[in-house]
Amino acid sequence: MTLSGIAPDNFAFPAVLKAVTSLQDLNLGKQIHAHVVKFGYGSSSVTVANTLVNVYGKCGDKGDACKVFDGIIERDQVSWNSMIAALCRFEEWELALEAFRSMLLENMEPSSFTLVSVALACSNLLKRDGLRLGKQVHAYSVRMSECKTFTINALLAMYSKLGEAEYSRALFELYEDCDMVSWNTMISSLSQNDQFMEALEFFRLMVLAGFKPDGVTVASVLPACSHLEMLDTGKEIHAYALRTNELIENSYVGSALVDMYCNCRQVSSGRPSVRCEAFSDKESIHGYVIKRGLEKNRYVQNALMDMYSRMGQTQISETIFNSMEVRDIVSWNTMITGYVICGRHGDALNLIYDMQRVKEKTNMNDNAYDDEGRVPLKPNSITFMTILPGCAALAALAKGKEIHSYAIKHLLAFDVAVGSALVDMYAKCGCIDLARAVFNQIPIKNVITWNVLIMAYGMHGRGEEALELFKNMVDDGSRNKEHVAILGW
């Protein structure tokens, strides 16, 4: 076009810049930007300027995105939407919310796209602030009748990430035009907030509503089967996945299937769930990771630590852990689990102390926007499930009580997995009455909870109590009762 002597105009430049965005070519974008200035559209066309903000935002240049935005004389709604969305991509959550406030102060009415970005920003704040601001955004969307499906989905995801599954559920039930994303968000929300029976129920309702589960659905609902040890339901979902190539080849689905089978003590069934024919041995996977330049990816590092720990190579796991630039809760839990698996219980307990120190240091940095800065790093139910057997193995009753106190403070003591681990810890430390007290406080018990206490009574020579508890278990309708008789006596 330019070689033919035809000058690009304010219609040509946005089209070319959108192509540059799709290519993710920042250098080419800067060259086109130079032509924009050369042909006099740098400040005269708001459409071209908006497209430039979008290009720099999606190509990773925050500084130039802000410069172009600041240079727009008459900003329109798209200008603000592009800038707020760009700030969210850079995880500058507070700056995104500040831009939203400035937008309102300039009497520019937000659109549904604005609210989606703002809801995302709210979901990444600390819970107290995020929930307060998120409710205001929700109220604004209702007042302005901005209730499009993608706006509702963004609000569902926001409440879910802030740990308010009940708010997500109430919003979902009020809205009639739910799509696939709405159902997936709701199922994921319930599963992530430990409402596993509710997640399975929503999965059933989704199928009855005529929606076909996809990879996100399956990967979200399998953890519910895993935690509830509903092996038959998990097998049904596995069978469904086998009928669809896209599902069974999905790495998230494969990982969720392996986790489900392993948690239900069916390890042999979990092995075929992952297709990994390209690698003859596990170490070659690490070599492939380095070859592809993925050795600094936090998710890959977590997976490698878990692999080496289960191979008994905790020193390699430690090397990877120590080399990580940013550690999330999964990183710490994986390393702690590795120590416990290899019998290094003392090291596991020491790592809990290190984890707490990282939390205190992170909380002093108010400007942090990485995972540890956004969410205060603290032990969760997985941490407790992993570390409590270490306390039992070392007979470290004082440390076990300290962890129990922490779990009560953070409302985790009533979690069935944490509760079962506490019962086991107290029983193995010789405190059978404390074990029973914890058992009585667990609102929903699974077969592991019953097994742990029955076995404890048997080991402590209290046969009558073990028999009585077994009868109570039968009356309670728990499954797999035959396993208890062998272990307890």
In a domain, 296, yes or no: yes
Same domain? For 261 and 335 the reply is no
In a domain, 283, yes or no: yes
Same domain? For 415 and 480 the reply is yes
Which among 235, 260, 275 is the end of a domain?
275
Look at residue 211 in the predicted model and tell me its pLDDT.
92
> Is 179 a residue whose pLDDT tops 50?
yes
The 10s digit of each residue's pLDDT in 234-263 is 889 888 888 887 787 777 787 778 777 766
Percent residues over pLDDT 70 in the chain: 87
Percent residues over pLDDT 90 in the chain: 21
Same domain? For 357 and 337 the reply is yes
SS3 (DSSP) at 395: coil
Backbone dihedral angles phi then psi of residue 414, each to the nearest 5 degrees: -90, -5
Q: Which residues of 433-455 are buried (b: 16+ CB within 10 A; e: fewer)?
A: ebbbebbeebeebbbbbbbbbbb
Same domain? For 229 and 257 the reply is yes
Q: What is the DSSP letter of 132?
A: H
How many whole angstroms separate alpha carbon 339 and alpha carbon 346?
Answer: 8
In a domain, 458, yes or no: yes
Which among 321, 345, 378 is the end of a domain?
378
Task: For CA atoms 466, 471, 475, 479, give the dihedral sign.
Answer: positive
- Are 344 and 322 a contacting pair, CB within 8 Å? no
> Is 41 a residue whose pLDDT tops 70?
yes
In a domain, 292, yes or no: yes
Amino acid at 488: G
Compute the mean pLDDT over every residue in the chain, rounded to the nearest whole number.
81
Structural domain of 427? 398-489
Look at residue 284 in the predicted model and tell me its pLDDT.
66
In a domain, 249, yes or no: yes
Look at residue 286 in the predicted model and tell me its pLDDT.
77
| Block residue for tokens 């219980």 | 345
Q: In the numeric block, which tokens belong to residue 483?
A: 């396993």
Polymer length in residues for the chain: 489
Same domain? For 405 and 478 the reply is yes
Task: Give the pLDDT mean for 213-226.
Answer: 88
| Block residue for tokens 């779990």 | 407
The 10s digit of each residue's pLDDT in 416-444 is 888 888 888 888 888 888 888 888 888 87
At residue 461 the predicted structure's pLDDT band, cuts being 50, 70 and 90, is confident
At residue 290 the predicted structure's pLDDT band, cuts being 50, 70 and 90, is confident
In a domain, 167, yes or no: no
SS3 (DSSP) at 460: coil
The 10s digit of each residue's pLDDT in 394-408 is 777 888 888 888 888
In a domain, 31, yes or no: no
Q: In the numeric block, which tokens belong to residue 192?
A: 């992530």
Same domain? For 284 and 352 the reply is yes
Which among 240, 275, 310 is the end of a domain?
275
Same domain? For 361 and 285 the reply is yes
Domains of the chain: total: 3
pTM above 0.75, yes or no: no
Amino acid at 302: N
How many whole angstroms separate alpha carbon 352 and alpha carbon 16?
Answer: 53
Same domain? For 298 and 267 the reply is no
Same domain? For 407 and 471 the reply is yes
Task: Give the pLDDT mean for 460-465.
Answer: 83
Q: Taking Cα atoms as reference points, which of 355, 336, 334 lies closest to residue 346?
A: 336
In a domain, 297, yes or no: yes
Look at residue 447 in the predicted model and tell me its pLDDT.
80
Look at residue 361 in the predicted model and tell me its pLDDT.
43
Q: Going by C-beta distance under 8 Å and a sequence separation of 6 or more, which residues neighbour residue 315?
A: none
